[in-house]
Amino acid sequence: MRVATLLSALLLAGCGTDRLTLSQTYDNRLSGKTIAVVVGRAPEFRLMAPPPRDADYRIAEAASEPVTPPSDTAHAYGIADPGRIVAASLSESLSKGLQLRIVDDPSTADYILNVTTFEWGMKYKSLATLRYYVHYSAIAKLIDRKSNETIERSSCMNVDNGGPDGARSTYKGLLEKDAAALKEELDGVAKRCSGELAGEVFG
């Protein structure tokens, strides 16, 4: 399989979004080159807080905990941007599959893999149950550093842990014990995003 085809599959499988096709001139240029990873700044973690306990709703156990303001959630619980997990996984796949060597300094690399979290957070779908799901979206770009040309770009959108019923966790359950469950769920959706981007090209 041609390198261009491999890379297209790597960055686009399962996403169905913007595609920039590698020209044939890149086929023989990737092998043996260097790549550096840049993780863009993530937006604020978005938390849909449960309504007040005295509101005219069927409030579940989820509302029994104090509500953390959405803008403070990531800092308060030490939640890390999942983009770093996605970037590490993709760069490893590129390195192994296309014989690209990973370097630390972007200014010396032939190519830049830029991964930016587009949206991440937790929200509920139904006021009847207030069951939450964790969702995540990211954009990945492969950039020729010298020409500053984006030769591939793709995204995973609205990857979530909801399952068939749309949501499964309570607000309290996700945030108790220093948000251990939320961190685990974010790690899972990040890996799913990486899987969508990488496809099954390198198994």
Q: What is the pLDDT of residues 35-74, one digit of tens each?
A: 999 999 999 898 887 766 544 444 444 444 445 545 577 8
Whole-structure pTM value: 0.75
Domains and CATH numbers, the chain: 3-198 (3.30.160)
Q: Which secondary-structure segment (H or E) carries 68?
A: none
Instruction: Considering only residues 41 and 163, tell me which one the structure prediction assigns the higher pLDDT.
Output: 41
pLDDT surpasses 50 at 109: yes
pLDDT, residue 183, reads: 92
Cβ neighbors of 22 (< 8 A, separation 6 or more) are 3, 4, 7, 8, 151, 152
pLDDT band at 95 (very low <50, low <70, confident <90, very high): confident
